[in-house]
A and B are shown apart, each in its own frame.
Chain A
């Protein structure tokens, strides 16, 4: 059987499996985990287009995530505009923001670009805190009541369970993966990669650097904004640190770095590692497991300490993972796996 056929068959089976999961799984927790996973893949994949393919390592993607989330939530909260309309407003606004940022930051290279991207995201975060009349300041916006989604009078869903969110998340993940695939296999993608590999060489070949960087940024920003809107609607609450903070930008990047930049499956792999791990820490699963195995007794000092604190430690884990990945597999897990496979092939 030829290889591409096998690959597409596998992808179809995987998709079918994902489509039927909510039929058989009715634990809201399991669905919640899947939704978090979708969100993470979306965020990673969107960053990947700019960072992985075009080689512009933005550390300010929280800007687009936050603008998307805030616009949708603000419209829903103050103007009662349904989120599936607000999403478009969010994306439109993000395009404007992205082009403004691009016109500033793309004049700069390397570390200067990174610093500028952080500064812009920080300006937006501080503005969200200070523009209290518009954004409700540091308190954030709470809007959990979603209007029912109707098509021609018939209610499609009223968002009372997690199932509709699951399908929206799945749809958005597919969308971002398809966009990435299309970019990778188009002339656009080759231009991006040419810029990533050698900006000056690409320029001398007649590729308009600033045009293609801005295109990469807009695609990336719009997808990130979609992820932000989805996050806002799903969680029902946004505030400056959770959607505009530097942590968010770092987290978005990490998904790609750990999985592998510039590959379609990198962000998926990164999410498959990061989401369960941080959730296991957050929900104290690890402490419970240690107690069950008998390594730590539940009411010893160590046990109590772990129970108390390990749930806060998921960011510590991010830090340790980043350091290990950068030192030992700088191309991420995908790069590491590819290297192993190549070595195996050479050995054969």
Chain B
């Protein structure tokens, strides 16, 4: 039972970070109907940014989120304005290829600068744990990152539900043309949405950097995970992505313990295919398109 609780809790904690990644992807998809295949690579850029800030300025990765978030927001806005904006009305495969191309450019540029060596960001608390009782312990960096994730997610919900800009973003996601007719600057909303999506991915990168290897190709895994999460939750649904992220975190964690760590990703993909087959609209989604 202790083992079960242990893996369940760490699954939920890591799931929080996954939720952040998924929300970013789903926000971009919702507003622009573009599937961002560079999502994991944006996360990777966030990881390296955190690494640079940590090694050069000595700022703690969790504190540096305050720098990473706005920087990644600008980066995402730039990507949207210069590249993605030009293919908004293009064929789906062209949009996908463009983002794949951007992802390749990011990961390989980082590889040219930092080589493909694995980097490790060691903080004083990287391997420390907190006893919760009942033989269950929680990794400190995971717990902190979960708390930060929850705060960011709550702030994001507030932003989307209560502010004018947030409502404009949701309106654009619901119906781009109608939103434009209502006087919403959809181009600006797209830039904000892509910026936010990138900022969330970059922040997720920053949050996992104390516990994860940092290398240029790390993005691929997360891109795929982000898809699984968003499809599971329903493409375009922020609540769905939150739930999906936590669900995937738990599945992975339990799968690693009860089946094997080598097969845990296979389980996630099989789950993904099953969702695509039997409930393609996802947990929270409404329609297939």
Which residues does A use to contact B, with CB under 8 Å?
A: 57, 59, 104, 107-108, 110-112, 114-116, 118-120, 122-123, 126-127, 129-130, 246, 250, 253, 257, 309, 312-313, 315-316, 318-323, 326-327, 330
Contact = CB atoms under 8 A, between A and B. Distances in A.
Interface residues of B, number: 42
A127 B266 contact: yes
Nearest to B108: A316
A59 B96 contact: yes
30 contacts: A59-B100, A104-B277, A107-B277, A110-B92, A111-B96, A112-B280, A112-B288, A114-B93, A115-B231, A116-B273, A119-B269, A119-B272, A120-B269, A120-B273, A123-B266, A126-B263, A126-B266, A126-B269, A246-B220, A250-B104, A253-B97, A313-B112, A315-B104, A316-B111, A322-B101, A323-B101, A323-B102, A323-B105, A326-B87, A326-B97
Interface string B249-289: 00000000000101101100110110011001000000010
B103 interface: yes
Contacts of A123: 266, 269-270, 273
B175 to A, nearest CB: 19
Given A116-B273, A129-B262, A319-B101, A313 B96 contact: no
A268 B151 CA distance: 53
A312 B93 contact: no
Nearest to B33: A111
A309 B109 CA distance: 10
A327 B104 contact: no
A130 B263 contact: yes
Which of B107, B273, B288: most chain A Cβ within 10 A?
A: B273
Contact of A122 (B87, B98, B224): B224
A114 to B, nearest CB: 6
A122 B227 CA distance: 13
Contacts of B107: 315
Interface string B63-105: 0000000000000000000010011001111101110111111
A323 B109 CA distance: 15
Contacts of A110: 92
Contacts of A315: 104, 107-108
A85 to B, nearest CB: 31
Interface of B: 35, 83, 86-87, 90-94, 96-98, 100-105, 107-109, 111-112, 116, 220, 224, 227-228, 231, 260, 262-263, 265-266, 269-270, 272-273, 276-277, 280, 288
Given A127-B266, A320-B105, 17 more contacts: A114-B35, A115-B227, A115-B272, A118-B227, A119-B269, A120-B273, A123-B273, A130-B266, A309-B112, A312-B108, A312-B111, A315-B107, A321-B101, A322-B97, A322-B104, A326-B101, A327-B87
Contacts of B228: 119
> Chain A interface secondary structure, helix, strand, loop or mixed?
helix
Contacts of B220: 246
Complex A-B, nearest 7 residue pairs according to Cβ-Cβ distance, in ascending order? A319-B104, A322-B101, A316-B108, A319-B105, A323-B101, A57-B93, A130-B262
> Chain B interface secondary structure, helix, strand, loop or mixed?
helix
B276 A112 contact: yes
B112 A312 contact: yes
Contacts of A320: 101, 105
Contacts of B97: 253, 257, 322, 326
Contacts of B270: 123
Contacts of B272: 115, 119
A114 B96 contact: yes
Contacts of A119: 224, 228, 269, 272-273, 276
B101 A118 contact: no
A310 to B, nearest CB: 8
Nearest to A114: B96
A290 to B, nearest CB: 16
Contacts of A59: 96, 100
Contacts of B109: 316
Nearest to A137: B262
B260 to A, nearest CB: 8
Nearest to B271: A119
A73 B22 CA distance: 39
A110 B288 CA distance: 11
